[in-house]
Each structure stands twice: as structure tokens, then as C-alpha cells.
Structure 1
């Protein structure tokens, strides 16, 4: 087996329109396709990531809540690479997004910080 890269990450939103606006308007991801699946009462929104990967945003009726802290068991967080994490944090702040304090990885010396999507899903900005 030869894994090449992550193809997509799927996220289920509790408020589809709010999350759609967050990922497209606040984060600036480009819409590739949007479909409503009547049999599931669910939207599926395909968003382009700059590296060719995709983020899939779904809506389902009454999705169950789950832990979303970065230290909860399961998927920890979704990280986006940025050229300047401080500038990106400032831009998010200007757009009304609450961001955590800048951190520095004790092993690599790289800067990063967390923020959350409308459902509290931990997102990270990471600077190489």
C-alpha cells in the first residue's frame, strides 16, 4: 500500500448555513460543489483546499454532540499551514473569530495556535 496524501476531511455541522459561511467567507475556502440529498435530509458541500485536498461539509438532522477539545480521544484537530501564523490570527480576530494564544512547539520551535469552527471543532494554524 502506498498512501500519498489526505484526500479529504469530512465535518458534520450542526448549523449548515453558519458553518458554510465560516469555511467559505471567514476562512476563504472555494466551493467545488454543493448537493442536497433529500433522502438523507442532508447537504454535502465540497470545498477546495489550496494543496488539492478537500474539506467536505455535511449537515444531518440532529447530529449527536461529541467531545471537541484538542485533548479529547479521537481526531484531535484539523491543522492549516500558513506562512505567518501571527498575521493569520490577526485576520481571524478582525473577522470576529476567537483565537487562543500563540504557542511554540517545544521540539520543533514552530509557531501555532488554535481556534474553533462554529461547532467547536478545534482548528489549528501552523507555521513552517
Structure 2
């Protein structure tokens, strides 16, 4: 809330981004949705969501990402923090990215910039960041 007020008062061209389920993604879906909703109510304009990297079922990810999406009203943007594994072609990463596309997420955020991961994220925006 303080960051949002500082941005508003100074009229800075800054976007407030928050995370839900970070870093492991092993939080309960309702906890992640509550984290996301509270962040939005406190001034976040974008939410980046972590998912469990041991789950390779896209339907499991989809139900979770839809619940989080419903907790964040428009115009909040949603991003998926791509699950990390030893291989960028790991089924869990692909399942999560497929679910993110279906749930209306706008971008994929990754800590590794492999071409395979960027290709799998398409058509969503793909960003490599230092988390």
C-alpha cells in the first residue's frame, strides 16, 4: 500500500508487481488467490504466480490459475513464473504454460533464458528476470 501511494503521489511511471505462491508454488490454491487479491487491493497492477514444479497435469494448473485469475479483477495483468527443473523441456513447465495460456495470463516469467522455454511460452510474452 505504501509503494502504491508513493507511486501515485510522485506520479512515477512505475508498475507495482507482486507474487503469489512464491517461491515454491506449493501453497494451497486459496492461499495463492488470497495473496494475489490482497496485493491487488494494496495497489499491485500485475501478479506473478508460482506453481508447483512437481505437477505435470495441465488441468491441475488450469484450475488453480483460473481461481487466481478470478481473484484479480481487470485490468490486473497476470504472469506465470515458469516452473524450474533440470531441463527446460520438463513436462511440468509445459503443462503450466499451457494452462497459463488457457487461463488468460499475459506473460511467462523465467529465471532461465533457454530457447526451448521461450518457444513453449509462445504466444505469451516471455521475460527472463533475476528472481
The TM-score, its normalising length taken from structure 2, stands at 0.26
Flag the structure with larger Rg. 1
